[in-house]
Structure 1
Amino acid sequence: MLYKYKKDYQKIAMGLLSFIAELKDISRLQSELKWYDAEDNRNLYLWKDDSNDFVGIVGIEENDDIVIVRHITVSPAVRNEGVSFKILDDLQNLYSEKKIMGNIETTNLITKWEMKNGSGK
Protein backbone atom coordinates (compact mmCIF):
# COMPACT_ATOMS: atom_id res chain seq x y z
CA MET A 1 0.00 0.00 0.00
CA LEU A 2 1.25 3.49 -0.87
CA TYR A 3 1.78 6.18 1.75
CA LYS A 4 2.42 9.76 0.74
CA TYR A 5 5.81 10.99 1.94
CA LYS A 6 5.89 13.25 4.94
CA LYS A 7 8.79 14.53 7.05
CA ASP A 8 8.25 11.75 9.63
CA TYR A 9 9.35 9.28 6.94
CA GLN A 10 12.51 11.15 5.93
CA LYS A 11 15.05 8.60 7.21
CA ILE A 12 13.11 5.71 5.69
CA ALA A 13 12.78 7.55 2.37
CA MET A 14 16.47 8.40 2.32
CA GLY A 15 17.38 4.81 3.08
CA LEU A 16 15.23 3.47 0.26
CA LEU A 17 16.32 6.14 -2.23
CA SER A 18 19.97 5.42 -1.43
CA PHE A 19 19.56 2.08 -3.25
CA ILE A 20 19.53 4.15 -6.46
CA ALA A 21 23.12 4.53 -7.66
CA GLU A 22 22.83 8.22 -8.55
CA LEU A 23 21.46 9.02 -5.07
CA LYS A 24 24.12 7.38 -2.90
CA ASP A 25 25.68 10.75 -1.97
CA ILE A 26 23.87 12.26 1.04
CA SER A 27 23.85 15.82 -0.35
CA ARG A 28 22.42 14.60 -3.66
CA LEU A 29 19.81 12.62 -1.76
CA GLN A 30 18.81 15.62 0.35
CA SER A 31 18.55 17.87 -2.71
CA GLU A 32 16.32 15.27 -4.39
CA LEU A 33 13.96 15.26 -1.39
CA LYS A 34 13.86 19.07 -1.54
CA TRP A 35 13.09 18.88 -5.27
CA TYR A 36 10.04 16.71 -4.58
CA ASP A 37 8.90 19.07 -1.81
CA ALA A 38 9.27 22.18 -3.98
CA GLU A 39 6.20 21.65 -6.19
CA ASP A 40 2.70 20.26 -5.58
CA ASN A 41 2.83 18.10 -8.72
CA ARG A 42 5.87 16.15 -7.46
CA ASN A 43 5.34 13.41 -4.89
CA LEU A 44 7.12 10.60 -3.17
CA TYR A 45 5.17 7.55 -2.01
CA LEU A 46 6.50 4.88 0.30
CA TRP A 47 5.14 1.37 -0.08
CA LYS A 48 4.40 -1.04 2.77
CA ASP A 49 4.33 -4.79 2.30
CA ASP A 50 2.01 -7.32 3.97
CA SER A 51 4.22 -7.41 7.07
CA ASN A 52 3.67 -3.65 7.47
CA ASP A 53 7.27 -2.69 6.63
CA PHE A 54 8.24 0.09 4.23
CA VAL A 55 10.11 -1.76 1.48
CA GLY A 56 9.72 0.48 -1.56
CA ILE A 57 9.50 4.05 -2.74
CA VAL A 58 8.34 5.74 -5.91
CA GLY A 59 8.88 9.35 -6.95
CA ILE A 60 6.49 10.85 -9.46
CA GLU A 61 5.82 14.03 -11.36
CA GLU A 62 2.19 14.60 -12.26
CA ASN A 63 1.10 16.46 -15.39
CA ASP A 64 -2.29 16.94 -17.06
CA ASP A 65 -2.82 13.43 -18.44
CA ILE A 66 0.27 11.55 -17.29
CA VAL A 67 2.23 10.55 -14.23
CA ILE A 68 5.96 10.27 -14.84
CA VAL A 69 7.75 7.78 -12.62
CA ARG A 70 11.09 9.46 -11.95
CA HIS A 71 12.39 7.05 -9.29
CA ILE A 72 11.32 3.63 -8.09
CA THR A 73 13.26 1.28 -5.88
CA VAL A 74 12.69 -1.48 -3.39
CA SER A 75 14.69 -2.99 -0.58
CA PRO A 76 17.16 -5.63 -1.83
CA ALA A 77 15.56 -8.16 0.53
CA VAL A 78 12.35 -8.16 -1.55
CA ARG A 79 13.66 -7.27 -4.99
CA ASN A 80 12.65 -10.57 -6.62
CA GLU A 81 9.11 -10.58 -5.29
CA GLY A 82 7.46 -8.34 -7.88
CA VAL A 83 7.21 -5.42 -5.49
CA SER A 84 7.88 -2.85 -8.21
CA PHE A 85 4.87 -4.09 -10.16
CA LYS A 86 2.72 -3.93 -7.01
CA ILE A 87 3.87 -0.35 -6.45
CA LEU A 88 2.96 0.53 -10.04
CA ASP A 89 -0.43 -1.20 -9.67
CA ASP A 90 -1.17 0.89 -6.59
CA LEU A 91 0.07 4.03 -8.34
CA GLN A 92 -2.26 3.33 -11.29
CA ASN A 93 -5.16 2.90 -8.86
CA LEU A 94 -4.29 6.22 -7.24
CA TYR A 95 -4.05 8.00 -10.59
CA SER A 96 -6.65 5.96 -12.46
CA GLU A 97 -7.43 8.67 -15.03
CA LYS A 98 -3.80 9.18 -16.01
CA LYS A 99 -1.25 7.23 -18.00
CA ILE A 100 1.79 6.01 -16.07
CA MET A 101 5.00 6.72 -17.97
CA GLY A 102 8.68 6.49 -17.21
CA ASN A 103 11.76 8.59 -17.69
CA ILE A 104 15.03 7.27 -19.12
CA GLU A 105 15.79 5.28 -15.95
CA THR A 106 12.30 3.83 -15.42
CA THR A 107 10.88 3.29 -18.90
CA ASN A 108 12.01 -0.36 -19.17
CA LEU A 109 10.29 -1.27 -15.91
CA ILE A 110 7.11 0.58 -16.92
CA THR A 111 7.08 -1.23 -20.28
CA LYS A 112 7.45 -4.64 -18.59
CA TRP A 113 4.66 -3.73 -16.15
CA GLU A 114 2.37 -2.67 -18.99
CA MET A 115 3.08 -5.91 -20.89
CA LYS A 116 2.33 -7.94 -17.73
CA ASN A 117 -0.99 -6.14 -17.39
CA GLY A 118 -1.69 -6.35 -21.10
CA SER A 119 -2.22 -2.63 -21.29
CA GLY A 120 -0.94 0.80 -21.59
CA LYS A 121 -3.62 3.27 -20.72
Structure 2
Amino acid sequence: MLIEFKSDYDKIAMGLLSYTADLKETSRLTEELDTYKNDDSRKLFLWRSEETDDLCAVLGIEEEEEVVLLRHLSVNPSYRGEGLTYRMLDELSDRYEGKTLMGTLESGSFVKKWQKRRNQQEELEQEVERTLTE
Protein backbone atom coordinates (compact mmCIF):
# COMPACT_ATOMS: atom_id res chain seq x y z
CA MET A 1 0.00 0.00 0.00
CA LEU A 2 1.14 3.56 -0.71
CA ILE A 3 2.07 5.57 2.35
CA GLU A 4 3.06 9.21 2.41
CA PHE A 5 6.69 9.98 3.12
CA LYS A 6 7.63 11.19 6.61
CA SER A 7 11.06 12.37 7.75
CA ASP A 8 11.34 9.16 9.80
CA TYR A 9 11.78 7.38 6.46
CA ASP A 10 14.70 9.50 5.18
CA LYS A 11 17.26 6.69 5.06
CA ILE A 12 14.83 4.17 3.59
CA ALA A 13 13.70 6.65 0.92
CA MET A 14 17.30 7.52 0.07
CA GLY A 15 18.19 3.84 -0.22
CA LEU A 16 15.27 3.16 -2.55
CA LEU A 17 15.83 6.31 -4.62
CA SER A 18 19.49 5.33 -5.04
CA TYR A 19 18.34 2.54 -7.40
CA THR A 20 17.35 5.33 -9.82
CA ALA A 21 20.00 5.91 -12.50
CA ASP A 22 20.25 9.69 -12.06
CA LEU A 23 20.46 9.55 -8.25
CA LYS A 24 23.59 7.49 -7.66
CA GLU A 25 25.61 10.36 -6.13
CA THR A 26 24.84 11.08 -2.47
CA SER A 27 24.83 14.85 -3.01
CA ARG A 28 22.32 14.57 -5.87
CA LEU A 29 20.20 12.16 -3.85
CA THR A 30 20.13 14.47 -0.82
CA GLU A 31 19.27 17.43 -3.04
CA GLU A 32 16.34 15.55 -4.61
CA LEU A 33 15.01 14.40 -1.24
CA ASP A 34 15.20 17.99 0.05
CA THR A 35 13.20 19.11 -3.00
CA TYR A 36 10.45 16.64 -2.13
CA LYS A 37 10.43 17.88 1.47
CA ASN A 38 10.37 21.60 0.62
CA ASP A 39 8.29 21.87 -2.56
CA ASP A 40 4.55 21.65 -1.85
CA SER A 41 3.82 20.47 -5.40
CA ARG A 42 6.07 17.43 -4.97
CA LYS A 43 5.23 14.36 -2.94
CA LEU A 44 7.08 11.20 -2.14
CA PHE A 45 5.33 7.90 -1.40
CA LEU A 46 6.69 4.62 -0.13
CA TRP A 47 5.17 1.22 -0.85
CA ARG A 48 4.65 -1.09 2.11
CA SER A 49 4.49 -4.76 1.15
CA GLU A 50 1.32 -6.35 2.49
CA GLU A 51 3.07 -9.72 2.75
CA THR A 52 6.25 -8.68 4.59
CA ASP A 53 5.38 -5.19 5.92
CA ASP A 54 8.69 -3.98 4.37
CA LEU A 55 9.03 -0.60 2.70
CA CYS A 56 10.17 -1.88 -0.68
CA ALA A 57 9.55 0.84 -3.27
CA VAL A 58 9.33 4.58 -3.67
CA LEU A 59 7.64 6.90 -6.11
CA GLY A 60 7.88 10.65 -6.40
CA ILE A 61 5.35 12.88 -8.09
CA GLU A 62 4.79 16.49 -8.98
CA GLU A 63 1.15 17.50 -8.67
CA GLU A 64 -0.32 20.17 -10.90
CA GLU A 65 -3.92 21.30 -11.32
CA GLU A 66 -4.93 18.60 -13.83
CA VAL A 67 -1.84 16.41 -14.02
CA VAL A 68 0.21 14.17 -11.76
CA LEU A 69 3.73 13.83 -13.15
CA LEU A 70 5.58 10.68 -12.13
CA ARG A 71 9.13 11.89 -11.48
CA HIS A 72 10.68 8.85 -9.80
CA LEU A 73 9.80 5.19 -9.43
CA SER A 74 12.14 2.70 -7.86
CA VAL A 75 11.60 -0.82 -6.55
CA ASN A 76 13.96 -2.83 -4.38
CA PRO A 77 15.49 -5.50 -6.67
CA SER A 78 14.17 -8.27 -4.38
CA TYR A 79 10.60 -7.19 -5.19
CA ARG A 80 10.92 -6.68 -8.94
CA GLY A 81 8.98 -8.81 -11.40
CA GLU A 82 5.95 -9.09 -9.11
CA GLY A 83 3.73 -6.49 -10.81
CA LEU A 84 4.39 -4.03 -8.01
CA THR A 85 4.75 -1.08 -10.38
CA TYR A 86 1.24 -1.66 -11.74
CA ARG A 87 -0.24 -1.86 -8.24
CA MET A 88 1.58 1.30 -7.19
CA LEU A 89 0.35 3.24 -10.22
CA ASP A 90 -3.19 1.88 -9.79
CA GLU A 91 -3.25 3.15 -6.22
CA LEU A 92 -1.68 6.47 -7.20
CA SER A 93 -4.28 6.92 -9.93
CA ASP A 94 -7.09 6.15 -7.48
CA ARG A 95 -5.64 8.63 -4.99
CA TYR A 96 -5.54 11.38 -7.64
CA GLU A 97 -8.77 10.44 -9.40
CA GLY A 98 -9.71 12.91 -12.13
CA LYS A 99 -6.10 13.90 -12.81
CA THR A 100 -4.06 12.61 -15.73
CA LEU A 101 -1.02 10.54 -14.81
CA MET A 102 1.98 11.38 -16.98
CA GLY A 103 5.63 10.40 -16.97
CA THR A 104 8.94 12.12 -17.58
CA LEU A 105 11.43 10.89 -20.17
CA GLU A 106 12.74 8.49 -17.52
CA SER A 107 9.40 7.32 -16.11
CA GLY A 108 7.27 7.56 -19.25
CA SER A 109 7.73 3.91 -20.24
CA PHE A 110 6.31 2.77 -16.86
CA VAL A 111 3.27 5.00 -17.27
CA LYS A 112 2.75 3.94 -20.90
CA LYS A 113 2.82 0.21 -20.03
CA TRP A 114 0.53 0.80 -17.06
CA GLN A 115 -1.98 2.77 -19.16
CA LYS A 116 -1.99 0.08 -21.86
CA ARG A 117 -2.61 -2.62 -19.26
CA ARG A 118 -5.33 -0.59 -17.57
CA ASN A 119 -7.07 0.07 -20.90
CA GLN A 120 -6.97 -3.66 -21.72
CA GLN A 121 -8.51 -4.47 -18.34
CA GLU A 122 -11.29 -1.92 -18.88
CA GLU A 123 -12.02 -3.32 -22.36
CA LEU A 124 -12.16 -6.84 -20.95
CA GLU A 125 -14.54 -5.74 -18.18
CA GLN A 126 -16.79 -4.03 -20.75
CA GLU A 127 -16.78 -7.16 -22.93
CA VAL A 128 -17.74 -9.33 -19.96
CA GLU A 129 -20.52 -6.90 -19.04
CA ARG A 130 -21.87 -6.93 -22.61
CA THR A 131 -21.80 -10.72 -22.67
CA LEU A 132 -23.68 -10.93 -19.38
CA THR A 133 -26.40 -8.51 -20.50
CA GLU A 134 -27.11 -10.28 -23.81
* TM-score, with structure 2 as normaliser: 0.86
The whole-number CA distance in structure 2 between the counterparts of 1:61 and 1:111 is 17
Unaligned runs of 5+ in 1: none
Once superposed, what is the RMSD of the aligned Cα atoms? 1.0
DSSP-derived class of the 1:118 partner:
helix
- 2:128 match: none
The whole-number CA distance in structure 2 between the counterparts of 1:49 and 1:35 is 26
> How far 1:109 sits from its partner (Å)?
0.9
| Higher percent of residues as helix | 2
- 2:13 match: 13
> How far 1:107 sits from its partner (Å)?
0.6
Tell whether 2:59 aligns with 1:61: no
Greater C-alpha radius of gyration:
2
> How far 1:38 sits from its partner (Å)?
1.9
The whole-number CA distance in structure 2 between the counterparts of 1:100 and 1:87 is 12
* TM-score, with structure 1 as normaliser: 0.95
- 1:109 match: 110
- 2:78 match: 77
Supply the AA of the counterpart residue of 1:72: L
- Shift >3 Å, 4+ stretches: none
Unaligned runs of 5+ in 2: 121-134
> Percent identity at matched positions?
42
